[in-house]
Amino acid sequence: MLGLETSCDETSAAILRRDEILGHVILSQDEHRLYGGVVPELAARAHLAVIDDVVREALDEAGVGLGAVDAIGVTAGPGLIGALLVGVCWARAAAFALDRPVVPVHHMEAHLFAPSLENPEARPPFVALLVSGGHTLLLHALAWGDYRLLGQTRDDAAGEAYDKVAKLLGLPYPGGPQIERLAREGDPGRHPFPRPMLRGGQSPDDPDYLDVSFSGLKTAVSTRVAEVAHQGKLERERAHLAAAFQEAVVDTLVSKTMRAVEVTGCPRVLMGGGVSVNQALRQEMTSRLGDGGEVFWASPRLSLDNGAMVARAAAFRLERGEVAGPELSARAALPFPGLVE
């Protein structure tokens, strides 16, 4: 299986034989650095410039030619439409030329599959916390392809909050790793930030019991940054602000996941998406889940956007006969397959 990922700012291709990764290339675009965020048009152009070479290098690493590929899996959404189209058009053209099936993949379902590439135990049933730059989802996976939505963000995604707060603190994009590094030197107690949608006395019947929201937290950080800057203390307080923000995000995400574990009675937790790389989040999740639970995540390379997870999800979808016709297109807001609200 050849897996292609071009939904945002990584161009990636992987060759899988079942769960074994034979070749895997991930190229992160650098052209967005100047702008403090991903510029969609630049992303699409950069994918187009490198996709042939990225696939060729993955094939070389695997020691096979394109003719050895049985099927092509590609992220068809959600994501930036111009960026997605590069992968989808490449996949369609190659599938036509080789007379092989093309399998459309949902980017967030691919994140669900990533840990299973390294650990065969990382399979349903589990409660999944998917935290990326564009999405924050809490779901109950009963089986592969059979998902119940438990909660989601009402506004910003967790990664988006990291990226925006990083910008407020004058840190470059992507903000997640920058804030994590700075937070290690800070005292989270110096700036008490709110825990969004986390109040005492909430009951499972409340509509926001399992949802999250990060825009209020972002505003609280922004207000505090302005106050501290006005007092001329921003440089001195930056690490403390980063630590306090991160503590609020981690506490919120872990508390909501613990509620999901309680509601479902399922103590197996899987974390996926770029923010799941965060060490503070991983530690807090492991410690709050305790000995009675299990937590799964992928190595950083497979947690961030990559083609291997796309190939793995595509293999599952292909097994179910889900092959696209030549009319396949990309969808910026593709619905999550098998997810029941």
List of residues contacting ligand KG4 (CB under 6 A):
8, 132-134, 159, 162-163, 174-177, 180, 273-275, 277-278, 304-305
Residue of 90, 97, 89, 120 lying closest to 20 (CA atoms): 120
Chosen from ligand KG4, Zn ion, none, partner binding at 5 (C-beta under 5 to 8 Å by type)? none
Q: What three-state secondary structure class fits 217?
A: helix
**Which H or E element spans position 73?**
strand 72-77
Chosen from Zn ion, ligand KG4, none, partner binding at 174 (C-beta under 5 to 8 Å by type)? ligand KG4
Member of 132, 252, 257, 306 binding Zn ion (CB under 5 A):
132
- Please report the DSSP string for 116-174 in residue order: GGT-TT--SSEEEEEE-SS-EEEEEEEETTEEEEEEEBSSS-HHHHHHHHHHHTTPPSS
Member of 284, 305, 313, 317 binding Zn ion (CB under 5 A):
305
Q: Measured from the CB atom, is 8 or 16 closer to ligand KG4?
A: 8
Contact 131, 253 (CB under 8 A): yes
User: Which region, judged by CB under 5 A, interacts with Zn ion, from 60-68, 302-310, 322-330, 331-339?
Assistant: 302-310
CA distance 260 to 255: 9
Q: State the nearest-atom distance from the C-beta of 292 to Zn ion, in Å.
A: 30
Q: Measured from the CB atom, is 84 or 225 closer to ligand KG4?
A: 84
Chosen from Zn ion, ligand KG4, none, partner binding at 188 (C-beta under 5 to 8 Å by type)? none
Structure tokens, 324: 């696209």
Instruction: Assess 252 for contact with Zn ion (CB under 5 A).
Output: no
Q: Measured from the CB atom, is 10 or 237 closer to ligand KG4?
A: 10
Chosen from Zn ion, ligand KG4, none, partner binding at 180 (C-beta under 5 to 8 Å by type)? ligand KG4
Q: Residue 11, CB half-sphere, CA atoms under 13 Å: how many?
A: 28
CA distance 262 to 336: 24
Residues that bind Zn ion (CB under 5 A): 132, 305
